[in-house]
Amino acid sequence: MKLFKIFILAGLLASCTKDFRETNTNNNNPTNVTPDLLLSGVIRNMMNRQVNSAWGIGNIVVQHHAKIQFVNEDRYLWGEQNSVWDDVYDNYRNLQNIFTTLGQDTTNPYYGVSLVLKSWMFAQATDAYGDIPYSEAGKAKLEGVYQPAYDKQEDIYAGILKDLARANSLLAVSGTTLDGDILFGGGAASIIKWRKLANSLRLRYLLRMSKQKNVSAQMQAIVADAVNNPVFTGNADNAEMVYLSAAPNQWPLYTSRVGSIDEFRVSKTLSDRLTALGDPRLKVFGRPTQTSVTAGTPKIQGIPNGLSDVDALAYNGGVQGVSRVGYTFACLVCNDLNQAPPDPAAPRALLMTYAELQFILAEAREKNLISTGDAATYYTNGITANFDYWKSIVPAQYGIDVTMPAGYLTQTTVAYTGDVLAKIALQKWIAFYFNGLEAWYDWRRTGMPEVIPGPSNLNNNLVPVRFIYPLKEQSLNGVHRMEAVTRQGADNLNTKMWLIK
């Protein structure tokens, strides 16, 4: 009898093991994901981060926006700002998965596109912090490198530029099957746009490092060979993510509380400068104060940056006397009297635009870093392109005319005469509106246009020039972090990184 029971049990176990693998496989937790799904996730996450970084810090520090309460950001009491760090390294893991899946198949367009994204992402991180893990980043899973060394910013920039040049060359001869591309739409038509982005980014980063390196030959090689090094040629090439009107791919700020949105207002710096220029783009960036609308004399009036909580709430008679952020970027229920509700599909997330490229070329030509083209033409193209861009995306129901006024380009404060570098910087600053941290990165390089710390700033009247390293790095990668701090300088908001020394 006992022997019979043993045979039955053995038979049952043998039959059950056939289904163990299938039963213990969670079909909702895949171990392999195709490149198209990984690509769309990386683009979405990083472009959302662009929006959130612009909203939380970028627009504040360059004085596009200011705050009326909870004003720590405006007073430079920043503490940790880990979103760039976390998003870059988190999403780089998925780029690594794409590279692993493709192996040595560099003819696959996902390879070149991933190199472009990798370069842009690491540029974002090194521009924010300085020296960071780069050459050993992303090697924990495959190579067991859990505490990567911090590379010098100079070496990181060299790697970024090398990868962008390689991406351009690889995509020139790659296949054309590209899905999951929510930036340019995918397919064969998007390949040339990724090449244009790669080369336009090369020009951005070359100019950014021009204080430390002679970049003239590299910049000229790009602009002199449009066939092999195509760049943006119009607004149709803009690297921007178009949001949908419904979740889950909505403008990320729509998930914020109404009160959190309403803390952010138009900066007086922005409203004063654009009012002096007679610039209708101000109507895109801000709304007339409720006080002025009630009085029948609508006017956009910003608030000074860097006020204390008490002073900010009381400025110009209170919150009714300070302009809200424009409808294109507003929360869905932040409506003013007699205004149409915001269009949820109107906002965009910007990576790089044709207007920015034109201002880069204008500055480079003016400084004789390149010999191709005319600086004044590049400058005019940049202004015109930015006007045309906002005119094309602002919904008609807002009733905002973004047409460039007659005589705008010939007025003294805009015409390409006198201190032309300051004028390029000012128009570029306007065009950088809501483009992540780019306006801040560019201001650090030139010091133009002027950014004056507010009266209640908490940083000894200094505008911050970097983020501090995430505090978790002290315990997770303390030795290498300390090496970077020793090499770069104190881990505070005012330490100048290699790019701007």
Structure tokens at 90: 């988190």
Quick one: residue 316, left, alpha or beta (phi over 0 = left, psi -120 to 50 = alpha)? Answer: left
Phi and psi angles of residue 349, each rounded to the nearest 5 degrees, phi first: -105, 125
Q: How far apart are the first and last CA of the chain?
A: 88
pLDDT at 28: 61
Question: Domains of the chain: which residue ranges?
Answer: 36-253+346-500
Name 175's Cβ contacts closer than 8 Å, sequence gap at least 6: 107, 108, 109
Q: Which residue has the tokens 């919904």?
A: 395
Using CA atoms, how far residue 158 sits from 206, 318, 336, in Å, is: 10, 50, 49
d(CA 192, CA 105): 19
436 neighbors 352 (Cβ within 8 angstroms): no
pLDDT at 343: 86
Tens of pLDDT along the chain (501 residues) come to 444 444 344 444 444 445 545 555 566 666 678 999 999 999 999 999 999 999 999 999 999 999 999 999 999 999 999 999 999 999 999 999 999 999 999 999 999 999 999 999 999 999 999 999 999 999 988 899 999 999 999 999 999 999 999 999 999 999 999 999 999 999 999 999 999 999 999 999 999 999 999 999 999 999 999 999 999 999 999 999 999 988 888 889 887 777 678 899 999 999 999 999 999 999 999 999 999 999 999 999 999 999 999 999 999 999 999 999 998 887 777 767 677 778 888 999 999 999 999 999 999 999 999 999 999 999 999 999 999 999 999 999 888 999 999 999 999 999 999 999 999 999 999 999 999 999 999 999 999 999 999 999 999 999 999 999 999 999 999 999 999 999 999 999 999 999 999
340 neighbors 349 (Cβ within 8 angstroms): no
pLDDT at 258: 74
- Predicted model pTM: 0.93
Fold exhibited by the domain 36-253+346-500: 1.25.40
Check residue 56 and report its DSSP letter. I
pLDDT at 10: 45
221 exposure class (CB count in 10 Å sphere: 0-12, 13-18, 19+): middle
H helices then E strands: how many in the chain?
21, 6
Q: Which residue has the tokens 């924010």?
A: 128
Burial 52-91 (b: 16+ CB within 10 A, else e): bbbbbbbbbbbbbbbbbeebebbbbebeebeebbebbbeb
How many CB atoms sit inside 10 A of residue 498's CB? Answer: 19
β-strand pairing of 348-352 with 132-133: unpaired
β-strand pairing of 264-266 with 348-352: unpaired
